[in-house]
């Protein structure tokens, strides 16, 4: 029997003590001793610690240390994954580019420690307002965030963006030096693309469109959403 005949699966097991562990099971068909019948040999092992190490490593690589959301490295990786379509059906992908309004003035007024706290609060508000397992909130630098929204069309993406804008202003984080509100606000640019069979989205083009929309939001007074 070759190694190709070995089937491997991993699954989570609920123990009697209410704890979960991860198991890896390897199975292979073999002939019985009489050479007439097939038997299956299965060996399972506890890989819970291995899973924890992988998760810890992924956290170190892909999580922004300050805010707890994904970082730019993860954004680039996930964008490449979501921007491809190998099947026959069309696939939608929306992108939000988000900037905290007048954040330099916020830092100058309240200090960098308060600025870091503001970034954490805003990041977690964004993360808590989108789909946990399918949407990706990423800090790509400074006070700028991106959110990838797979399978979301233009109108829904704009609605999500406006809800996020209201959510952040509703946090009522004081910002006395803002020219648009007495609280911290965000401006958002939105772009949407359709990935058709066997094509690949140009990441730079899609990001550029969302960034242009963000620029328009700033030019038109901030604390708003625009689409490109």
- Residues belonging to the active site: 143
SS3 assignment for the chain? CCHHHCEEEEEEEECCCCCEEEEEEEEEEEECCCCCCEEEEEEEEECHHHHHHHHHHHHHHHECCCCCCECHHHHHHHHHHHCECCCCCCEEEEEEEEEECCHHHHHHHHCHHHHHHHHHHHHHHHHCCCCCCCCEEEEEECCEEEEEEECCCHHHHHHHHHHHHHHHHCCCCECCCCCCCCECCEEEEEEEEEECCCCECCHHHHHHHHHHHHHHHHHCCCCCEEEC
């Amino acid at each position: 029997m070759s190694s190709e005949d070995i089937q491997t699966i991993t699954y989570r097991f609920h123990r009697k003590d209410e704890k979960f562990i991860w198991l890896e099971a390897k199975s292979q068909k073999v002939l019985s001793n009489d050479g007439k019948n097939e038997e299956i040999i299965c060996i399972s092992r506890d890989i819970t610690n291995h899973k924890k190490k992988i998760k810890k490593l992924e956290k170190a690589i892909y999580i922004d240390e300050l805010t707890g959301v994904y970082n730019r490295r993860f954004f680039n990786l996930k964008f490449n994954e979501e921007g491809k379509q190998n099947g026959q059906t069309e696939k939608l992908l929306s992108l939000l580019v988000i900037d905290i309004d007048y954040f330099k003035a916020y830092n100058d007024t309240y200090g960098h420690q308060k600025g870091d706290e503001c970034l954490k609060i805003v990041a977690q508000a964004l993360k808590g307002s989108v789909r946990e397992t399918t949407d990706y909130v990423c800090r790509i630098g400074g006070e700028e965030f991106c959110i990838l929204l797979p399978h979301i069309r233009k109108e829904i993406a704009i609605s999500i963006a406006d809800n996020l804008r209201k959510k952040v202003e509703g946090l009522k984080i004081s910002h006395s030096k803002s020219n648009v509100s007495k609280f911290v606000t965000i401006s958002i640019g939105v772009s949407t693309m359709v990935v058709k069979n066997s094509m690949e989205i140009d990441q730079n083009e899609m990001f550029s469109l969302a960034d242009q929309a963000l620029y328009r939001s700033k030019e038109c007074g901030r604390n708003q959403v625009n689409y490109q």
